[in-house]
Structure 1
Amino acid sequence: MMVSHPTSLLTGVLALLSPLTAHSFVIPPSENLQAFVGQAQTLNPSLESASIENEGFSRPSWFTSTLMARRLLALSPSGVISTTFPDSVPPSAHAPSDVAGISIGLREYIADCDGSLPSDLSHDDNGDPTILGLRIGTTFKNIAAGSNLSLQIDWWDHINEAGSVYPGLPPSLAALPRVTLFGYLDNLPSPLPDDAAAALEQCFLEPHPDAKVWLPGASYSPHASFWARLVVTHAYWIGGFGDVQQIGWINLTEWQGIRPHGSVAGVGDGRGWQDVRLPGEKP
């Protein structure tokens, strides 16, 4: 049984709550703080962990965290793509001129479909998410104008299933994992070969059946669309609170080498992202 260290727990909670005093949040007196945070609890048993010396907490290894990040990508039907408006906003953009150079984050459909493509078009299922882009969309207009981009995905919609995953605290969104992927957009050939198009549509429409209306090349689509993938060059992981989860930059070789049911030779311990579970997932 993993038991939190009382001193570390109180210190961590004080650090977590102290900024709230400026917003009329009153921290309980020290003698009542233990009652406020509650008794120490065990971590979610679905998360494999490695011991942290002298702390009494446990934290997953970095490879386990990378497996969880790849699983998060595989299970995420959407994410927030951040781009930047061009330095000079053209009139055709129908946007205020003073948003020039400012970033904007918009939620877009994504899917982990690279593994469904034929080998000559696939990146070997290495964690580059598939995106269905609309040329009229602000996100894709900004990218076409030269904007860099990042994609943020999280597990926050699963707060009810996850429950309390941090020792001594009630359910907390901030304790749940998220990852930000940096890279560039790589447009897939248009039109795709029939076999590739059929495989990609089957994969993408499973989480997004409504997207059938605006698939690339659909004569009835209200907007011109295209298939692309985000080629991941960096990944930043926040597994939760840093005393019990990893926070930092993911090893890209490990990210790219993980598969659903294993990993390529020389990467990690051979496990795939199907071998881990995110907080609240059933075994």
Structure 2
Amino acid sequence: MARSSIVTLLKLSLCLLAVLATPFPTQEYLNQQQASLAGFGGHDDPLKNFVSDVVHEDAVIGGSSSGSSGTTSTTTTTSLAAAAPLSSSSSLRYTTQPEEQGISRPSWFTSTLLARRLLAKSSIGIASTVYQQPSSSSSSSGPADLQGVPISLPEYIADCSASDSGTQEDDYDGNINNGNPIFLGLYVSTTFRNAAQGSNVSLSIDWWTHLNSTEPVYPDFPLSEAGLPRVSLLGYVERIEDGSSKSLEECFLAAHPDARVWLPGKEDSPHRGFWARLVVTQAYWVGGFGDLQQIGWVNMTEWRGIGRYASADGIGDGSGRGWEDVRLPGE
């Protein structure tokens, strides 16, 4: 036992000597580490720097921003390249100056036309609402702590902008459905229960299911959903009075033939339903990768003034184009 204790003490002594022999970082070493971080533009997190540049994209793309206090220089988005540099011969290099490579983004009016076309071609969207203060008549079967919690669920939608218009050419003129997608709401639906209690609604739609019909956005670049359009529509649900036009029903069933079995007032329907529209108050567009497409808030005057075959006078670039004059990737 004594011999074993002596061996153990010797081992502990050797470990202690090894620790004591390890040098602590000198000030010179710390200075070298700080200098190495200078390659990231003075930031110790290259991704953080990149995100900051994206947030201030308008200033980055312009190279500088002018204000009342003069011109402020900005740093171009190069921090990720410093972390993982690409070969000089790579065809995938990103630039915040698309014009330097002969690339031009669509105009914002064209992007809004694309967004309206995306809505017209979509039949399902992801609706997000927020649980409100439970009312006295609310079911108590769910969790008790959901107030303020968001929830996202898929919903059938249809763009019936032309269903109440007098002519195809004037489907934007005085038509309350123009740019406002139609729901066949169900009383059992969480989306519409939350909306009835005061929640606003956002509806997200995208073109991602068409990926295999598209082409790579860059040479040798993989097909990527991230490079395809999507739009988020913000607004509120407004019920459409019973006895709405027959054309509205026909429009919705053209997109969802199965919904005929739960139309409002339908006998033997699995659920009671009603017609409603999402009154769009704002729209956020992501056309794809930011060096090729526009990203940002849509001009709502243009959104509401665009029709299928034409646009209202004074809208956009004055071309009078409608959303049938543009095509989404792969069309």
TM-score range, shorter chain: 0.7 to 0.9
Q: Within 2, Cα distance between the matches of 1:113 and 1:146?
A: 25
The aligned residue for residue 109 of structure 1 is 156
Query: Aligned pair 1:161/2:213, yes or no?
Result: yes
Tell me how far 1:39 sits from its aligned partner: 3.0
In structure 1, the residue matched to 2:310 is 262
Aligned residue for 1:133, secondary structure, equals strand
Contact 2:160 2:178 in 1 (8 A): no
Q: In the alignment, does 2:121 pair up with 1:69?
A: no
Q: Say which SS state the counterpart of residue 210 (structure 1) adopts.
A: helix
Cα separation, 2, equivalents of 1:207 and 1:106:
19
1:3-18 to structure 2, matched below 5 A, reads: none
Matches for 1:37-52 after TM superposition, within 5 Å: 39=91, 52=98
1:152 is aligned to 2:212: no
CA shift, 1:99, in A, is 2.0
Partner of 2:54: none
Quick one: structure 1 residues 277 and 203, their matched pair in 2 at CA, closer, same or farther if it must change by over 3 Å?
A: same
The CA deviation at 1:110 is 0.5
Note closer, same or farther for the CA distance 1:229–1:58 as it changes in structure 2 (3 Å cut).
same
Amino acid in the other structure paired with 2:141: H
The one-letter code sitting in structure 2 at the alignment partner of 1:237 is W
CA drift of 1:273 comes to: 0.4
Alignment of 1:176-195 (within 5 A): 176-192=228-244
- 1:83 aligned partner: 129
**Alpha-carbon deviation of 1:114?**
3.1
Question: Runs of 5+ in structure 1 lacking a partner?
Answer: 1-13, 20-26, 42-50
Partner of 2:144: 97
Match of 1:173 in 2: 225
In structure 2, runs of 5+ residues without a counterpart are 1-45, 52-80, 167-173
Aligned CA distance change for structure 1 residues 54 and 209 (closer, same or farther; 3 Å): same
Tell me the secondary structure at the aligned position of residue 81 of structure 1. strand
In 2, the alpha carbon distance for the partners of 1:55 and 1:39 equals 11
After superposition, the C-alpha distances for 1:31-64 in whole angstroms (9 at most, x for unaligned) are: 7x349x95369xxxxxxxxx95435422100011
The verdict on how the C-alpha distance between 1:226 and 1:271 changes in structure 2, with shifts beyond 3 A counting, is same
What letter corresponds to residue 111 of structure 1 in structure 2?
Answer: A
Larger Rg, first or second structure (1 or 2): 2
Q: Which runs of 4+ in 1 moved over 6 A?
A: none
Aligned to 1:142: 194
Q: Which of the residues 250, 270, 276 maps onto 1:228?
A: 276
* Letter of the structure 1 residue corresponding to residue 163 of structure 2: S
Larger RCO, structures 1/2 (Cα 8 Å, 6+ apart): 1
Q: RMSD over aligned Cα, in angstroms?
A: 2.8
Equivalenced residue count is 243
Task: Tell me the percent identity.
Answer: 54
Aligned to 2:100: 54
AA partner of residue 151 (structure 2) = I
Cα offset, 1:231, TM superposition: 1.0
The amino acid across from 1:233 in the alignment is: T
Query: Which letter does structure 1 place at the counterpart of 2:164?
Result: L
SS of structure 2 residue aligned to 1:140: helix
1:117–1:200: 8 Å Cα contact kept in structure 2? Answer: yes
> Residues 254-281 of structure 1: CA distance to partner in whole angstroms, max 9, x if unpaired?
1111111111111122111001110111
Residue 254 of structure 2 corresponds to 206
Q: Following the alignment from structure 2 to structure 1, what is the Cα–Cα distance between the partners of residues 87 and 308?
A: 42
Name the CA distance, whole Å, in 2 between partners of 1:125 and 1:98: 36
CA shift in 2, pair 1:145/1:124, >3 Å: closer
Letter in 2 for 1:58: S
Asked whether the 8 Å contact 1:135–1:223 carries over to 2, the reply is yes
Is contact 1:166-1:175 (8 Å) kept? no
Q: In the TM superposition, what is the alpha-carbon distance from 1:125 to its structure 2 partner?
A: 5.1
> Take 1:124 and 1:274, find their aligned partners in 2: how far apart are those partners?
20
Distance in 1 (alpha carbons) for counterparts of 2:282 and 2:103 = 28
Shift of 1:88: 3.6
Distance 1:267 1:166 in 2: 32
Cα pair 1:128 1:232 within 8 Å, conserved: yes
d(CA) in 2 for partners of 1:39, 1:107: 38
Which digits, 9 at most, give the CA deviation of each residue in 1:118-139, with x for residues without a partner? 66xx725521111110011000
> Is residue 274 of structure 1 aligned with residue 324 of structure 2?
yes
Which residue of structure 2 lines up, in the alignment, with residue 123 of structure 1? Answer: 175
